[in-house]
Amino acid sequence: MTHSTTLPPAGLMRRFGALFYDALIVLAIEMMAAGLVIAVIFALNAAGILSYGEYGDAAGLVGEHPIVSPLFTLYLAAVWVYFFVFFWTRAGQTLGMRAWKLQIRNEDATPITVTQALIRLGTSGFGLANFTVPFDPKKRGFHDIWAKTQVVVLKNAQ
């Protein structure tokens, strides 16, 4: 790994480019995760193990049931959080960050921890925290400051 002081910090537009790519990927993953739950509920209903009751179908059950709906929302949030924590703590890059040649790391170029990833995600404001990048001398987003992380631009891999 190249030491982080030799790599430039990521600018605002590059960060938003990666965020846009990742949003598309997360949207697709969330659709698959939701589809899996709907398929399981449908199969349980077809087997006679579960009834939709007053909701009419599986979508109504997960969307309106006072217990199932919050659990379904929590499940989808956990899938979303896991995506970012997994990639940030393993390679320091999500798929969108890889496309834009960005990497998140500690100042000593070590991978970030799960705690740092959760702090970063919790303070990111769905990407709005990046608006502090142009004003910070080290070009850090608000979430990078809180998590003590930095996002750098990687050199082209040959």
133, pLDDT greater than 50: yes
Share of the chain above pLDDT 70, in %: 96
Q: Which of 28-37, 44-53, 128-137 has the lowest mean pLDDT?
A: 44-53
Distance CA 39, CA 151 (A): 39
Count structural domains, the chain.
Answer: 1
Residue 52 lies in a domain: yes
pLDDT tens profile 66-118:
888 999 999 999 999 999 999 999 999 999 999 999 999 999 999 999 999 99
3 pLDDT band, cuts 50/70/90, is: very low
36 pLDDT band, cuts 50/70/90, is: very high
Amino acid type, 13: M
2, pLDDT greater than 50: no
Say whether 58 sits in a helix, a strand or coil.
helix
Contacts by residues 72-75 (CB-CB < 8 Å, ≥ 24 positions apart): 72/34, 72/37, 75/33, 75/37
5 pLDDT band, cuts 50/70/90, is: low
CB 95 within 8 A of CB 87: yes
Share of the chain above pLDDT 90, in %: 81
Q: Containing domain of residue 72, as a range?
A: 4-153
Residue 158 lies in a domain: no
The verdict on pTM exceeding 0.85 is: yes
Residue 99 lies in a domain: yes
